[in-house]
Each structure stands twice: as structure tokens, then as C-alpha cells.
């Protein structure tokens, strides 16, 4: 389909000749109503005549098009827009094109040379655009073009005034792109090259002749069409070629040393690295740009949810949260490569020591059972947070200096490998409004190749970002659970060392808050604090030792809420309560009795079932695992599920064509129950499925309806109830 502009009203400034004229003709030819603006000035801005605009209008009308002339200077922005409204009743598209030149070497540039250029190019584009803005905003459509120049982008001898104004237009366009996005107002910038009276003094005549304005106009038309979703782009265009420009930034270097003033010598020493574009990044927003600076100061932080002062006060950018836009957005995937070195370093970081001979399997790569600690699963996924991806999510305009790490959930689907490459994919699962702040739930799936290895949920608290009218809770949140009321069944105490944070940070969280006293002081702490995820590691290994014989394959999941900071050197006391395969935990600082991790628990695989692979290898039923989990879910949420589902489900699991197990999921009576064996009364619906297909369904790989039609899943009783299966199996869909 050809691109039509029927019904659209276009204003082209400086359209009496050169490029502007070409745009006006091209828009009119495709059905637009065009306001042809031109002051009729000479190239230096002198003189005035209506002839230039009139001629173009005549040419358009002669071809059957719709056009009116306007002879005002772009410095009278309102008048230009008024002409469009009077003649055609609206304004949809604005091409800021009018321009003059007053080239002088810099020393000879007069005030007038400077001011005139700024007034026509920069101030003129500002005034006309501002006059159009509210009309575009109200109609939720607008396309704006700014015209820059290679002289502005790269600099050019004799054009200081012109290049300053021209690059100023790029800055203007960048911000309009940000502010206009939600109103469907897109603003892009072109740096054209074309033969015109502006270039005939600098280009040889045959080049002026061959670089036709017709080779630029189609690009302007495309950028202004409703189909084009480009916004904030910068393009060079000429001779039929179009290229896009963007910023590139070197990896850079931190030149500040702990406890030392920053020095120019340190800058000199790192100069080559600062300017080295190997592995350069391409930041495209102020958030992305700020993030790398702020991450040096205040990367997403944990443990300080009770102490918002820890968020370092920096210039706060305008905040705005729009859950509808943000939820479901994905961050760019991150990869993490590691060897046994990282596993060992992590184990040392969370306090493992050769003093305990059982720790050797986590500290010595030559050990026959050498393994990676399960909580290492947070390390590959944290890059998604650290790399500042959150800053690029639409609908999450937040002040990154106010971000705290509130809670963490980690679940392993496989024991972690001890080396390799893992890829993590992060999604904004939900955004909650807690009044005093916002909570962002970030779900991160980590894969080895195609295989899902673990799932993390980061719960990030943004101080001061609440009050946007969002919901307070989310069913996607992995909720913390209080421990039973009785005295703990077991207690483990371990002291952290003075260098615990210094060691733990080597696993990838380089926030100076954990090592730099002056930085910690800015955050309101007497001295650097331990990483919350370090205490998390301590607590998890206490459980692993107490209840799982230090066997990492027994570990399934962990949830914690970070309450208060721990100082390196303090002792951590983990209290544990065993409730089946769930171990509730609470962590306190022994010296102060302050609770530091609350609502926490570790889920273990049963001793006999071990990890899922072992189960299948051992010939056991895979479905048992899922039923065990459903049982746990019913324990937590039974009453709620009974309300939603109100039915008894009978299950018959087959293997090699034989009935091998029966289960009952009772979501009708009391607060629900799961038990092995058939239901004593009559189940509302009974489902027969093979062990393998059941796993497929539970993992979301096989849709229950499809399985039914394919004869893989048989249903007796109230067949409609099978639609409620999703409520029960939902948690597995992400597997």
C-alpha cells in the first residue's frame, strides 16, 4: 500500500525553495493539505517577499493539491500554526526546515551573526513547535521533523554559530521525543545534504545539480507517516542514501580509590582505558546514561529497606510509573560466563571455610563431589539489575538513586553447574504501589542453552515513587512467610569477618556502599555494610548443613526479606523451624539481636526424591514432585483456592499404559487438601493422564485442552472444571 497523507495537515517552514519546497510538493501530491511557509528572505536572513511561498502554492494547486501560503517568520510561531488551523482546522505534521547562514570564522563572528542564526534555527523551531504541541497532544497524533546539519554534528570551519544552533535542535528533538511518546507525537531529526542556494556557495555546480532535494523528501515523508514508529532518531540523508546515527560510549574506568581523594594523576593513568571503545555501549536514554554513573555510587541496594537514607541523594529525575506500560516488558538478555573460580570465590564470600571439612566440596575443584552452592543462582541473574536495564523500561521513570533491594526469591530447577555460560532473561512481572514507594517485581529466568536452570524474583523498592494509583499486592509476588510461633528447632551461629563484604563483592556486586567508608557515610551508615545477599548466602548454607547434609541437590528454593543491614565482623544467627520440606528461617545479628532477614524460608527436596533428574533416573514418578508442590501450595493458599475452584479433582496417573498412582486434590472442603489415593466420596472430575504428559502439562509445554483433544488426557465428570486446572498448575507454567 502506498503511503497516503489524505486528511493530514502539514506545515513546512521555509518551503519557498530548496528542500522545503520539495517536501511541500511531495506531501501535497500524496493528499495532504499543506501550509507553505516562507518569509522570502535572502540566504542571510535579509529582505522579505511573499513571492517564494506563493509560487509553491500555485504549483501545488495547479496539480490539484491543497495548499495555502504563510509569509511570517518562524519567529512568529503562533501565526504559522494559526494559518493551518484557519485554513484546514488542524495541524498534524510539522517540518522545521527554514534556515539561513551567516558563516564567519569564529573570531569574526559578531553578536548579530550569532543571534540571528540562533533566532531563526533554534528559537524559530522552538516557537513553531510549541504552538503546534497542544493541538497534537489533544488529538494524540503528531509528527515533527527538526533539521540539523553535519556542521552541527561534527563541527565545521566558519560555522560556529550555525553548528551550535543545529546541534541545539538535536537536543530539542531528543527531549520532545521523550515527552511526546505517550501522546503519539514523534520527533526525529535529519541532517540533509542537497544542492540548494545554501550549498551553492560551498559545493561545485555539478554537485549542487546532482544532489537533488527529491532524494531527501521521501525520508521526511516516511518519518511523518502514521505507520512510522521511529521516535528520537537522528539521520543523515542525501543523494538517495540514508543512515542512522547514535551515541557510543566506552566502557570507561573508575578512577577513584577507596579512602583517597580523586586525583588528576589517576585520570591520566587510566586515560587509554577511558578512551578505549572496545566493547563500547550505546546508551540511548538519560536513565541508561545515569545508571552507569550511579551504579558506581549506588547500585540497586539490598538490606536497607528499613533505612531509606541509604539512598544517596543525587539529582532526582522526574519520576513517573505506569504499570500498564511497564508490566510484561523484557530487559535485554545478559550472559554470564564462569569457571570453578567464581563458585569458590562465592563460597568464601558467604563464609565457607576449610575449617569445616564438609565445606571442602564447595572450596576445592579437585574434590570428588565438587559443587556450586545453590544460592550462587542469584549471581548470574543480578547482571540484569546491575546493567541498568531497568532504566530503559517504558513506564518506569524512576530515580535510580532511590532504589533498594527489598526481597529475594530463588528457585533451582537443576543443581547449578560449576562452570559454563548462562543466559538470563528478565521481565517486569508487576509494579505495586505501597504509598511510600513503589515495588517492582523483576522475574529473571536463567538458562544454560535452552534448559531453564533457575528462577529469581527480585523485589525492588523505589523510595518515594508510590502514589501512582496502582494496586498494593500481586499474585505474582513470592510472599514471605512468618515462622511458626514455637521456639526454633535449630539454631546456627557464624561470625562474618571484617573482610566479608570485601570478599563478597568480588562475586559481582561492586557497590562502594560495601567497602568505601566515605560512600557509606553519604548513605547514612557509620561504616560500609555487608551485602544483603551475603547474609542470604549464610542463612541458606546453615539450612543446607542442618537439614540436607550439605547436599546441594536437596536445595529447591529460598525466599528472604531484607530488613536491616549487617556490619562486617558481626555474627549471624540463623533460627530454623522445620515444617515438612520447608524450613522457615529468621536471621538476627547476635551482638544486637536485630532481625536482619525475616519471613524467610528454604524449601528442600525430600531426602529420597532428591533432584528431579534423580527421580526420573530412579524410575520414580515425575508427577510426584508436582503433587508435592501442589500440596505445599494448598497449605499456603488453600482457603483462597477453595473459594476460586470449589471442586474435588481426582487424578489417575499412568505409566506404560498402567495405572500407577492416584491423587486427590480437594479444593472444596475446609481449607483444601492433597492426598495420595482416590477420594472417599465422588470426585467432581477425574483426570487420567500419563506421568510424562502430566509433566508436560504442568510445565506449560502441553496445553490441557490440546492434550484432551489429542486423547492424551481423559476426563470424567464435570469436564468444564478442567478449565480450572490452570489455577492449580499455574505456578508451573513458567517451568
State how far the Cα of 722 lies from the Cα of 540, in Å rounded to an integer.
Answer: 38
* 672 makes contact with ligand NAI (CB under 6 A): no
State how far the Cα of 209 lies from the Cα of 586, in Å rounded to an integer.
Answer: 79
State how far the Cα of 332 lies from the Cα of 248, in Å rounded to an integer.
Answer: 17
Express the helix, strand and coil content of the chain in percent, nearest 5 each. Answer: 40, 25, 35
Q: Which is nearer to ligand NAI, 38 or 516 (CB)?
A: 38
498, 472 contact by CB (below 8 A):
no
Q: Which is nearer to ligand NAI, 150 or 452 (CB)?
A: 150
State how far the Cα of 561 lies from the Cα of 597, in Å rounded to an integer.
Answer: 6
Among 33, 129, 149, 622, binds ligand NAI (CB under 6 A): 149
* 83 makes contact with ligand NAI (CB under 6 A): no
* 196 makes contact with ligand NAI (CB under 6 A): yes
Report the Cα–Cα distance between both ends of the chain, in Å, rounded. 43
Least separation in angstroms between CB 12 and ligand NAI: 10
* 427 makes contact with ligand NAI (CB under 6 A): no
* 217 makes contact with ligand NAI (CB under 6 A): no
Least separation in angstroms between CB 97 and ligand NAI: 5
State how far the Cα of 118 lies from the Cα of 51, in Å rounded to an integer.
Answer: 25
Which region among 25-33, 193-201, 271-279, 476-484 touches ligand NAI (by CB under 6 A)? Answer: 193-201
Least separation in angstroms between CB 52 and ligand NAI: 6
Least separation in angstroms between CB 51 and ligand NAI: 10
* 349 makes contact with ligand NAI (CB under 6 A): no
* Phi, psi of 459, rounded to the nearest 5 degrees: -115, 110
Which region among 61-69, 71-79, 442-450, 543-551 touches ligand NAI (by CB under 6 A)? Answer: 71-79
* 70 makes contact with ligand NAI (CB under 6 A): no
Least separation in angstroms between CB 203 and ligand NAI: 8
Least separation in angstroms between CB 73 and ligand NAI: 4
* 185 makes contact with ligand NAI (CB under 6 A): no
Among 77, 124, 437, 528, binds ligand NAI (CB under 6 A): 124
* 587 makes contact with ligand NAI (CB under 6 A): no
Sign of the CA dihedral running 339, 345, 351, 357: positive
Which region among 109-117, 187-195, 361-369, 420-428 touches ligand NAI (by CB under 6 A)? Answer: 187-195
624, 615 contact by CB (below 8 A):
yes
* Residue 262, CA distances (Å) to 254, 256, 258, 259 in order: 10, 5, 9, 9
**What cell does 509 get?**
556486586
* 160 makes contact with ligand NAI (CB under 6 A): no
Least separation in angstroms between CB 136 and ligand NAI: 20
Q: Which is nearer to ligand NAI, 170 or 615 (CB)?
A: 170
* 77 makes contact with ligand NAI (CB under 6 A): no
66, 60 contact by CB (below 8 A):
yes
162 is catalytic: yes
Sign of the CA dihedral running 282, 288, 294, 296: negative
**What cell does 57 get?**
502554492
Q: Which residues does 263 contact at the CB level (< 8 Å), separation at least 6?
A: none
* 69 makes contact with ligand NAI (CB under 6 A): no
* 168 makes contact with ligand NAI (CB under 6 A): no
Among 120, 220, 454, 642, binds ligand NAI (CB under 6 A): 120
* 588 makes contact with ligand NAI (CB under 6 A): no
State how far the Cα of 11 lies from the Cα of 128, in Å rounded to an integer.
Answer: 10
Q: Count of CB atoms within 10 A of residue 12's CB?
A: 33
Which region among 93-101, 480-488, 524-532, 664-672 touches ligand NAI (by CB under 6 A)? Answer: 93-101
State how far the Cα of 534 lies from the Cα of 485, in Å rounded to an integer.
Answer: 27
Give me the 3-22 binding string for ligand NAI, x by CB under 6 A, dash otherwise: ----------xx-xxxxx--
Alpha carbon of residue 279 to chain centroid: 21
DSSP state letter for 592: T
Q: Which of 23, 71, 162, 679 is catalytic?
A: 162
Q: Which is nearer to ligand NAI, 52 or 378 (CB)?
A: 52
Rg (Cα) of the chain, in Å, rounded? 33
Give me the 33-52 binding string for ligand NAI, x by CB under 6 A, dash otherwise: ----xxxxx-x-x------x
What is the size of the binding site for ligand NAI (CB under 6 A)? 34
The burial of 637, by beta-carbon neighbours within 10 Å (0-12 exposed, 13-18 middle, 19 or more buried), is given as middle
Least separation in angstroms between CB 224 and ligand NAI: 16
Ranked by CB distance to ligand NAI, the top (closest) residue is 18
Among 34, 57, 94, 100, binds ligand NAI (CB under 6 A): 100
Which helix (H) or strand (E) is 75 found in, with range?
A: none
* 242 makes contact with ligand NAI (CB under 6 A): no
The burial of 328, by beta-carbon neighbours within 10 Å (0-12 exposed, 13-18 middle, 19 or more buried), is given as exposed
DSSP state letter for 630: H
Q: Which is nearer to ligand NAI, 197 or 590 (CB)?
A: 197
State how far the Cα of 456 lies from the Cα of 425, in Å rounded to an integer.
Answer: 10
392, 384 contact by CB (below 8 A):
no
Which region among 97-105, 303-311, 504-512, 680-688 touches ligand NAI (by CB under 6 A)? Answer: 97-105
State how far the Cα of 460 lies from the Cα of 354, in Å rounded to an integer.
Answer: 35
Among 73, 109, 159, 371, binds ligand NAI (CB under 6 A): 73
Least separation in angstroms between CB 194 and ligand NAI: 4
State how far the Cα of 430 lies from the Cα of 634, in Å rounded to an integer.
Answer: 23
Looking at residues 491 to 550 of the shown chain, list those that interact with ligand NAI (rule: CB under 6 A).
none
Residue whose C-alpha is closest to residue 683's, from 713, 656, 635, 722: 722
* 326 makes contact with ligand NAI (CB under 6 A): no
Q: State how beta strands 93-95 and 142-147 pair.
A: parallel
* 239 makes contact with ligand NAI (CB under 6 A): no
Q: Which residues of the shown chain bind ligand NAI in the complex (CB under 6 A)?
A: 13-14, 16-20, 37-41, 43, 45, 52, 73-75, 97-100, 120, 124, 147, 149, 191-194, 196-199
> Active-site residues: which are they?
162
Amino acid at each position: 500500500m502506498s503511503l497516503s497523507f489524505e486528511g493530514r495537515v502539514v506545515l513546512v517552514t521555509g518551503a519557498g525553495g530548496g528542500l522545503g519546497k520539495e517536501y511541500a510538493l511531495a506531501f501535497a501530491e500524496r493528499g495532504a493539505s499543506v501550509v507553505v511557509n516562507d518569509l522570502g528572505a535572502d540566504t542571510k536572513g535579509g529582505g522579505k517577499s511573499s513571492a517564494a511561498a506563493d509560487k509553491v502554492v500555485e504549483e501545488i494547486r495547479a496539480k490539484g493539491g491543497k495548499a495555502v501560503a504563510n509569509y511570517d517568520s518562524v519567529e512568529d510561531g503562533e501565526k504559522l500554526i494559526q494559518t493551518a488551523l484557519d485554513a484546514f482546522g488542524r495541524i498534524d505534521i510539522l517540518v522545521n526546515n527554514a534556515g539561513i547562514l551567516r558563516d564567519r570564522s569564529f573570531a569574526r563572528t559578531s553578536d548579530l551573526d550569532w543571534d540571528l542564526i540562533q533566532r531563526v534555527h533554534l528559537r524559530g523551531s522552538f516557537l513553531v513547535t510549541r504552538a503546534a504541541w497542544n493541538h497534537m497532544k489533544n488529538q494524540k497524533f503528531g509528527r515533527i521533523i527538526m533539521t540539523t546539519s553535519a556542521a552541527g554534528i561534527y563541527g565545521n570551519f566558519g560555522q560556529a554559530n550555525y553548528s551550535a544552533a543545529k546541534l541545539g535542535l538535536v537536543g530539542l528533538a531528543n527531549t520532545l521525543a521523550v515527552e511526546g511518546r505517550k501522546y503519539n507525537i514523534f520527533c526525529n531529526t535529519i541532517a540533509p545534504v542537497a544542492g540548494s542556494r545554501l550549498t551553492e556557495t560551498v559545493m561545485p555546480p555539478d554537485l549542487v545539480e546532482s544532489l537533488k532535494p527529491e532524494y531527501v523528501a521521501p525520508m521526511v515523508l516516511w518519518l511523518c507517516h502514521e505507520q512510522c514508529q521511529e521516535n528520537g532518531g537522528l539521520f543523515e540523508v542525501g543523494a538517495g542514501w540514508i543512515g542512522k546515527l547514535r551515541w557510543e560510549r566506552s566502557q570507561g574506568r573508575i578512577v577513584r580509590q577507596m579512602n583517597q581523594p580523586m586525583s588528576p594523576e589517576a585520570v591520566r593513568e587510566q586515560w587509554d582505558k577511558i578512551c578505549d571503545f572496545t566493547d563500547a555501549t550505546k546508551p540511548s536514554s538519560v536513565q541508561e546514561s545515569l545508571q552507569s554513573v550511579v551504579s558506581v555510587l549506588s547500585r540497586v541496594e539490598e538490606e536497607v529497606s528499613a533505612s531509606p537514607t541509604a539512598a544517596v541523594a543525587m539529582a532526582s529525575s522526574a519520576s513517573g510509573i505506569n504499570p500498564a506500560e511497564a508490566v510484561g516488558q523484557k530487559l535485554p538478555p545478559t550472559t554470564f560466563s564462569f569457571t570453578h573460580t567464581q563458585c569458590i570465590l562465592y563460597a568464601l564470600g558467604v563464609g565457607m571455610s576449610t575449617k569445616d571439612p564438609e565445606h571442602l566440596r564447595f572450596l576445592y575443584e579437585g574434590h570428588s563431589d565438587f559443587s556450586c552452592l545453590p544460592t550462587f543462582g542469584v549471581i548470574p541473574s543480578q547482571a540484569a539489575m546491575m546493567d541498568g536495564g531497568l532504566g530503559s523500561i517504558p513506564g518506569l521513570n524512576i530515580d535510580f538513586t532511590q532504589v533498594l533491594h527489598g526481597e529475594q526469591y530463588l528457585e533451582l530447577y537443576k543443581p547449578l553447574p560449576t562452570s559454563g555460560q548462562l543466559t538470563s532473561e528478565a521481565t517486569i512481572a508487576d509494579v505495586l504501589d505501597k504509598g511510600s514507594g513503589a515495588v517492582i517485581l523483576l522475574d529473571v529466568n536463567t538458562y544454560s542453552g535452552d534448559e531453564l536452570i533457575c528462577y529469581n524474583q527480585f523485589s525492588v523498592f523505589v523510595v518515594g515513587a508510590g502514589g501512582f494509583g496502582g494496586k498494593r499486592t500481586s499474585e505474582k509476588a513470592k510472599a514471605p512467610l512468618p515462622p511458626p510461633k514455637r521456639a526454633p528447632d535449630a539454631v546456627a551461629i557464624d561470625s562474618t569477618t571484617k573482610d566479608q563484604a570485601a570478599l563478597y563483592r568480588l562475586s559481582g556486586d561492586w557497590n562502594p556502599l560495601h567497602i568505601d567508608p566515605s560512600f557509606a557515610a553519604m548513605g547514612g551508615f557509620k561504616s560500609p555494610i555487608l551485602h544483603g545477599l551475603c547474609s542470604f548466602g549464610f542463612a541458606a548454607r546453615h539450612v543446607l548443613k542442618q537439614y540436607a547434609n550439605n547436599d546441594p541437590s536437596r536445595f529447591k528454593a529460598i525466599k528472604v526479606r531484607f530488613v536491616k543491614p549487617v556490619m562486617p565482623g558481626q555474627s549471624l544467627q540463623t533460627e530454623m523451624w522445620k515444617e515438612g520440606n520447608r524450613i522457615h528461617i529468621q536471621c538476627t545479628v547476635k551482638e544486637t539481636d536485630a532481625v536482619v532477614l525475616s519471613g524467610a524460608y528454604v524449601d528442600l527436596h525430600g531426602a529420597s526424591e532428591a533432584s528431579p533428574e534423580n527421580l526420573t533416573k530412579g524410575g520414580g514418578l515425575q508427577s510426584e514432585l508436582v503433587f508435592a508442590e501442589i500440596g505445599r501450595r494448598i497449605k499456603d493458599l488453600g482457603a483462597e483456592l477453595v473459594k476460586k475452584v470449589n471442586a474435588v479433582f481426582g487424578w489417575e496417573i499412568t505409566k506404560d499404559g498402567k495405572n500407577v498412582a492416584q491423587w486427590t486434590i480437594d479444593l472444596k472442603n475446609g481449607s483444601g487438601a492433597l492426598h495420595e489415593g482416590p477420594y472417599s466420596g465422588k470426585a467432581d472430575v477425574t483426570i487420567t493422564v500419563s506421568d510424562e504428559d502430566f509433566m508436560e502439562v504442568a510445565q506449560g509445554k502441553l496445553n490441557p485442552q490440546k492434550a484432551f483433544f489429542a486423547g492424551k488426557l481423559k476426563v470424567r465428570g464435570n469436564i468444564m472444571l478442567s478449565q480450572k486446572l490452570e489455577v492449580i498448575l499455574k505456578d508451573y507454567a513458567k517451568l
